[in-house]
Amino acid sequence: MQRLLCSTIEKMPNGSRDLACEAPRTAPFLALGHRPWVWMVAILAASWWLCPPAVANWYDDKDRLEANGQYGALEKVMEREVLDIAHATTAKLVPLCVAYSKVKRYAKLFACLDHLEANVRAGDNLDVAGPTSMKSNIAPLPDVLRAEAYLELAQYDAAAAAAARSDKPFPEENSLSYYSEFFLRVRALTVLTLANFFRSDRKAAERYQSALENMSTGFVGGIVKRRVKNIALTKTYMASGRYDLALETIRSGSLGFNVGSALADLLIGASARGQSWFAYAEIPKLFMLNRCLLETGQVAEAKAGYDELLKMDQSRENGEILWIALYDRGRIAEKEGDRRGAIAFYRRGVDIIEQQRASINTEANKIGFVGDKQAVYGRLIAMLVDEGRTGEAFDYVERSKSRALVDMLAAKKDFAAQGANPEKIRQVLAQLDAADNAARVQDEAAKLGEGIGPRNLEVARREVQSAAPALSTLVTVGAVPSDELKVLVGAQEALVEYYYLGQDLYAFVLTRESLQVVKLDAKGLAEEVQAFRRMIEEPSSQDWQGPARALHRRLWRPLEGMVIARQVIVVPHGVLHYVPFVALQQTDGSLLLDRIGFRSLPSASVLKYLKPRMVNGEGRLLAFGNPDLGDPKLDLRFAEAEARLVAGMTANSRLLVRRDASKSNFKNVAALFSRLHFATHGRFRADDPLASGLYLAKEAQDDGVLTVSDLYSMSLDADLVTLSACETGLGRIANGDDVVGLTRGFLYAGTRSIVASLWSVDDEATAGLMKSFYENLATMSKDESLRDAQRRTRQTFPHPYYWAAFGLTGRAD
What whole-number distance in Å separates Cα of residue 602 and Cα of residue 573?
8
pLDDT exceeds cutoff 50 at 91: yes
What whole-number distance in Å separates Cα of residue 539 and Cα of residue 432?
50
Please write the tens of the pLDDT for every residue from 612-648: 776 555 578 899 888 887 777 777 777 788 888 888 8
Q: Which has more confidence, 231 or 515?
A: 515
Please write the tens of the pLDDT for every residue from 464-522: 555 555 455 444 445 678 888 898 898 889 999 999 888 889 999 999 999 999 999 99
Predicted local distance difference test score (pLDDT) of residue 481: 81
Host H or E run for residue 229: helix 222-239
Q: Which has more confidence, 392 or 268?
A: 392
Please choose, from the candidates 352, 355, 406, 358, the residue with its C-alpha nearest in 3D space to the C-alpha of residue 376.
Answer: 352
What residues have CB less than 8 Å from 524, skipping those under 6 apart? Answer: none
Per-residue confidence band for 802, with pLDDT thresholds at 50, 70 and 90: very high
Q: Buried b vs exposed e over 780-805: b needs ≥16 C-beta within 10 Å? A: ebbbbbbbbbbebbbeebebbbbbbb
Residue 612 DSSP label: P
Predicted local distance difference test score (pLDDT) of residue 707: 84
Please choose, from the candidates 512, 113, 194, the residue with its C-alpha nearest in 3D space to the C-alpha of residue 365.
Answer: 194
What whole-number distance in Å separates Cα of residue 242 and Cα of residue 238?
6
Predicted local distance difference test score (pLDDT) of residue 371: 37
Predicted local distance difference test score (pLDDT) of residue 796: 93
Domain formed by 612-810, architecture: 3-Layer(aba) Sandwich (3.40)
Range of 56-65, 445-454, 479-488 with top mean pLDDT: 479-488
What whole-number distance in Å separates Cα of residue 641 and Cα of residue 647?
10
Give the least confident one: 246-255, 571-580, 618-627, 714-723: 246-255
Domain map of the chain by residue range?
A: 409-475, 482-608, 612-810
Q: What torsion, rounded to 10 degrees, do the Cα atoms 205, 206, 210, 212 define?
A: 30
Please write the tens of the pLDDT for every residue from 402-432: 544 443 433 344 444 445 555 565 555 555 5
Predicted local distance difference test score (pLDDT) of residue 411: 38
Predicted local distance difference test score (pLDDT) of residue 318: 65
22 Rama class: left (phi>0) / alpha (psi -120 to 50) / beta: beta
What residues have CB less than 8 Å from 290, skipping those under 6 apart? Answer: 15, 301, 302, 305, 306, 309, 325, 328
* Residues composing the chain: 813
Please choose, from the candidates 127, 132, 198, 120, the residue with its C-alpha nearest in 3D space to the C-alpha of residue 165.
Answer: 120
What whole-number distance in Å separates Cα of residue 323 and Cα of residue 162?
28
Please write the tens of the pLDDT for every residue from 330-368: 999 999 999 999 999 999 988 877 765 444 333 333 223
CATH top-level class for 482-608? alpha beta
Predicted local distance difference test score (pLDDT) of residue 135: 55
- Opening angle at CA 520, ends 514 and 522, nearest 5: 140
